[in-house]
Amino acid sequence: MVYHLLYPLHTTISVFNVFRYITFRTIYASLTAFLICVLLGPWVIRKLTALQIGQYVRDDGPRSHLQKAGTPTMGGALILFAVVVSTVLWTILTNAYVWIALFVTVGYGFIGFIDDYLMQIKKRSKGLTVRKKLLMQFAFAIVTGLLVFVRPDFDTHVTIPFFKKISPDLGWGYVLFAALVIVGTSNAVNLTDGLDGLAIGPAIIVAATYMVFAYVAGHVKIADYLQINYVAGSGEIAVFCGAIAGAGFGFLWFNTYPAQVFMGDIGSLSLGGALGTVAVITKQEILLLVVGGLFVVEALSVIFQVGFFKMTNGRRIFRMAPLHHHFELKGWAEPKVIVRFWIISIILALISMSTLKLR
Ligand code: 57M
């Protein structure tokens, strides 16, 4: 919005020329989202506490979590608000990819809100059934896949990291592929959100990494030089990623150990849906397995644990899944698990950035 209001005045006020630059608007989208979260955070926490939207903690988890019962949750609503406001303020609003990204983020936030509402307010500890949640997630994801698919000259080839020459064209199958990326990422982030700051940290790292990917993918000369897909208009998604990273840091200000607030499904599902959609738009879908490798490992730990449990009539691979609980039960202090997982996330992000040069 700022671009539309102020850039046209650059002929008289030359400094307003700066609003045309994606880098400038990305920085200020990030700072705006950060400030919204940090300034509104205390009020949101007080409001959630007054509304008694306190975390219900199951008794079958690590005993150290029992003390967390009652921690205000659904703080993800603040992340969502900050991302939407900052994106609308700092992007070029005629860009279709911006609205596609906002559609998923708000849509998945709605799904998460229903789940949280049923669990935390209606006290139905299971919330939405897995089946209903997946159906709603796939509905939004398939619509998103279609919206991306119909974009003029959107490329339905799938980029394989490190192997430039191999990029299968999925055609219409790309819609289902994109939906799987979005739903998978959303649920992986949701599973990871089980320790203070454990999900928001890597989400910030992934958003910051895809900020770079979006910028280069939307820059015809740089994309050509790096021999990556040029996606006209995807540069604006860098601004959206900046808003996510800024909101993430603002939320982490309160979610860091010991957490004053949890994001709830409204936060984890929407963040995961947003990051999955960004990976699709920037044509770096498979690379998300590397950048978001922590989310992948956490989800795989659950899949392997449940599968092994069923195959062996009750034996477990890990002391408890997802993986963060395994280390907690091994005696690692919660902050130690969290920061070590962040470190791994940063290393994975650096490796994924190197693929821009390596082909
Ligand atoms: C999402 N939710 C946290 C908080 C957060 C199939 C099975 C693997 C499902 C999985 C599950 O229930 N996942 C739900 C994880 C929960 O956090 C809330 O949920 C929101 C995210 N969706 O925003 O509102 C708990 O996590 C802790 N937490 C923090 N700090 C944070 O900043 O400490 C969250 C955010 C909160 C709080 O204690 O209550 C969660 O863990 O449920 N189930 C599990 O993950 C369970 N694992 C399990 O059952 N493992 C089994 C089988 C099924 C694999 C096994 O290993 O044999 C664990 N979670 C719980 N109890 N609650 C362990 C048992």
Quick one: which of 147, 238, 134, 211 has its CA closest to 180?
A: 134
The residue among 264, 268, 270, 271 whose CA lies nearest residue 48 is 264
DSSP string, 189-213: HHHH--STTTTHHHHHHHHHHHHHH
Ligand 1 pocket: which residues have CB below 6 Å? 55, 57-58, 60-61, 65, 68, 73, 190-191, 193-196, 255, 259, 262-265, 268, 302, 305-306, 309, 316, 320-322, 325
Decide: 247 and 87 in contact? Cβ < 8 Å. no
Which atom, in ligand 1's list, is nearest to the CA of 116? 24
Distance 56 CA to ligand 1 centre (A): 11
Q: Cα separation of 227 and 167, whole Å?
A: 13
Report whether 186 contacts 258 (CB < 8 A): no
CA of 43 to the centre of ligand 1 (A): 26
What global pTM score does this model have? 0.96
How far away, in angstroms, is 253 Cα from ligand 1 center? 21
Residue by residue, DSSP assigns 261-281 as ---HHHHHHHHHHHHHHHHHH
Q: What is the pLDDT of residue 125?
A: 67
Helix and strand numbers (H, E) in the chain are 14, 0
Residue 181 · residue 246 · CB < 8 Å:
no
First to last CA, the chain: 38
**C-alpha distances in Å from residue 302, one per residue of 93, 195, 320:** 40, 16, 9
Whether the Cβ atoms of residue 337 and residue 328 lie closer than 8 Å to each other: yes
Tokens of 52: 């008694």
**Mean pLDDT per 10-residue interval, the chain, length 359 residues:** 93 94 98 98 97 88 91 97 98 97 98 93 80 97 97 90 85 97 98 98 98 96 92 97 98 98 98 98 96 98 97 95 96 98 98 84
The single residue listed with the structure tokens 């790096």 is 226
- Give the nearest ligand 1 atom to 197 CA: 32
Q: Which atom of ligand 1 is nearest to the CA of 321?
A: 56
CA-closest residue to ligand 1 atom 39: 57
**Nearest-CA residue for atom 58 of ligand 1:** 61
CA 283 to ligand 1 centroid distance, Å: 31
The pLDDT of residue 250: 98
Residue 210 CA, ligand 1 centroid: distance in Å: 27
Q: What is d(CA 71, CA 313) in angstroms, rounded to the nearest whole number?
A: 35
